[in-house]
Amino acid sequence: MRIKSTLNTRISSGLLSLGLSLLISIHTSLAAAQTVSVSDSSAGVRIGVLGLFHPRQFTVSAPPGQALVVHAGEASVVIEKSSGVKAANVRVSADGVLLRDGPHAIRASALTIAGRNNEAVDFILAVPEKITRHYQGTLEIKPSSGTLLAIVAMDRETAVASVVDAENPPDTPLEALKAQAVAARSYLVAGRGRHHDFDFCDTTHCQFLRQPPPSASAASKAVAATRDLVLAYDSAPFAAMYTRSCSGHTRTPAELGLHPASYPYYSVECKYCRAHPALWTSRLSAQDAAALHTSDEAARLNLVRRLGWAAVPSNDFVAQKERDRIVLEGTGQGHGIGLCQAGAKAMAEEGADFQQILSHYYPNTTIVKWPIPGFSK
């Protein structure tokens, strides 16, 4: 990247949604977008959760009125208030995992947690002193390179509702939430294979996911209203990408130096972001700034993995030297590919329905019900 102290160098690209985005590894995600798992038409997904904390210990507990059954090898433990076991502590051990429920200790290669009949159940999973989350599904915990993997198998619609609720502010109109639900569901249907041990993670590498929202919430209503609907291009579903703010027009993978996806992601105008750009300023060392390259989203992602998202919120910025630092002044929050969440919110507030929103940001696509009868690769 060339830096001039008197003349700003324009570097245009995109970003994925800051904190509420879809992907960190764009090359991987675009490749995943070209692969659809058609052998498994079930409505379930396996999501690795809380991996950002590199946990070596978990605490699992049951909400009031729930009973959890922990299976650890041939042993099992019931977590329920009436059983006297309110929570179980799981630690990584040299030969697998160590489960403690009060005075008892059980060693196993891995463990699973479900309801009394192995059904999906509500449970609370915590990394002590760091984070606590409520989930709905079944849980598998196993060791991996000195840490613990927590994998939640959940109903796909539960996952979609969790994503929609995590990805959007509370004042988002229902039609924009519906558009988000279809995009998120499309990603879950067509984007499998991003991880070795599970389908997706709960970070922006895949889709941001928190606990499932209440059934009466706007996010849950949006998911119910669009149940099983996905986006398709050339009669095939694709892993729809989206961004928080697109700087006035959406991008194509080619504009960012990325591998083309099965869907070409046409560049479209976004009136809201053009009139209300998301502005940001950041200061980097000359060494860090030197790693940035024009129209190279992968280079920016490599940098923000190390420095954090606030370091370079997008690739649409100007750069100038200020003593021993490089000052970036930019617009946008996200890679700018696909649905723009800020623009979708504005369209819905102006009266557009979710079909119109999706048609605008994903031109030449159709909305279909999944699974598609007779679909094959």
Per the domain annotation, does 293 fall within a domain? Answer: yes
pLDDT at 47 over 90: yes
pLDDT at 7 over 50: no
d(CA 79, CA 164): 30
Cα–Cα separations (whole angstroms), residue 174 to 122, 207, 276, 318, 349: 26, 20, 21, 36, 9
Per the domain annotation, does 248 fall within a domain? Answer: yes
Looking at the structure, tell me whether residues 5 and 76 fall in a common domain: no
d(CA 279, CA 212): 32
| pLDDT (0 to 100) of residue 39 | 33
Looking at the structure, tell me whether residues 74 and 196 fall in a common domain: no
pLDDT at 18 over 70: no
Domain boundary among 123, 145, 167: 145
| pLDDT (0 to 100) of residue 115 | 95
User: What is residue 79's three-state secondary structure?
Assistant: strand
Give yes or no for a contact between 136 and 162, defined as CB atoms under 8 angstroms apart: no
d(CA 36, CA 240): 12
d(CA 125, CA 132): 6
28 against 266, higher pLDDT: 266
Looking at the structure, tell me whether residues 257 and 356 fall in a common domain: yes
Beta carbons within 8 Å of 45's beta carbon, 6+ residues apart: 153, 154, 156, 159, 188, 192, 199, 200
| pLDDT (0 to 100) of residue 191 | 86
Per the domain annotation, does 229 fall within a domain? Answer: yes
At 280, list the tokens: 């940001």
| pLDDT (0 to 100) of residue 29 | 39
Looking at the structure, tell me whether residues 9 and 97 fall in a common domain: no
| pLDDT (0 to 100) of residue 299 | 85
pLDDT tens-place string over residues 84-139: 788 999 999 988 999 987 777 899 999 999 999 999 999 999 999 999 999 999 99
- Pairing state of beta strands 325-331 and 317-322? antiparallel
Looking at the structure, tell me whether residues 292 and 239 fall in a common domain: yes
- Mean pLDDT within 65-70: 92
Looking at the structure, tell me whether residues 270 and 187 fall in a common domain: yes
Looking at the structure, tell me whether residues 214 and 324 fall in a common domain: yes
At 43, list the tokens: 């409505």
| pLDDT (0 to 100) of residue 294 | 64
Task: Name the band, by pLDDT with cuts 50, 70 and 90, for residue 5.
Answer: very low
Looking at the structure, tell me whether residues 104 and 232 fall in a common domain: no
Looking at the structure, tell me whether residues 69 and 211 fall in a common domain: no
- Mean pLDDT within 306-319: 87
Looking at the structure, tell me whether residues 337 and 210 fall in a common domain: yes
Domain that holds residue 333: 1-48+155-377
What's the pTM value of the predicted model, to 2 decimals? Answer: 0.83
| pLDDT (0 to 100) of residue 23 | 35
Looking at the structure, tell me whether residues 183 and 222 fall in a common domain: yes
- Mean pLDDT within 63-70: 92
pLDDT at 156 over 80: yes
Per the domain annotation, does 329 fall within a domain? Answer: yes
Looking at the structure, tell me whether residues 233 and 328 fall in a common domain: yes
| pLDDT (0 to 100) of residue 196 | 84
Q: Facing residues of 104 across strands?
A: 101
121 against 43, higher pLDDT: 121
Amino acid at 82: S
Task: Name the band, by pLDDT with cuts 50, 70 and 90, for residue 19.
Answer: very low
pLDDT at 244 over 60: yes
Per the domain annotation, does 1 fall within a domain? Answer: yes
294 against 208, higher pLDDT: 208
Per the domain annotation, does 117 fall within a domain? Answer: yes
Per the domain annotation, does 150 fall within a domain? Answer: no
Cα–Cα separations (whole angstroms), residue 104 to 77, 98, 100, 148, 173: 10, 10, 6, 20, 50
Per the domain annotation, does 21 fall within a domain? Answer: yes
Domain boundary among 115, 145, 175: 145
d(CA 346, CA 352): 9
pLDDT tens-place string over residues 181-201: 999 999 999 988 778 888 888
User: What is residue 308's three-state secondary structure?
Assistant: coil
Cα–Cα separations (whole angstroms), residue 27 to 9, 52, 347: 26, 20, 30
Positive or negative: CA dihedral 299, 251, 270, 363: negative
Residues 275, 277, 282: CA angle, nearest 5 degrees: 160
Provide the mean pLDDT of the chain: 85
- Mean pLDDT within 76-81: 88
pLDDT tens-place string over residues 249-272: 999 988 888 888 889 999 999 999
Question: What number of residues does the chain have?
Answer: 377
Give yes or no for a contact between 180 and 339, defined as CB atoms under 8 angstroms apart: yes
pLDDT at 25 over 50: no
- Mean pLDDT within 330-347: 94
- Mean pLDDT within 327-349: 94
**Number of domains comprising the chain:** 2
Domain boundary among 96, 114, 145: 145
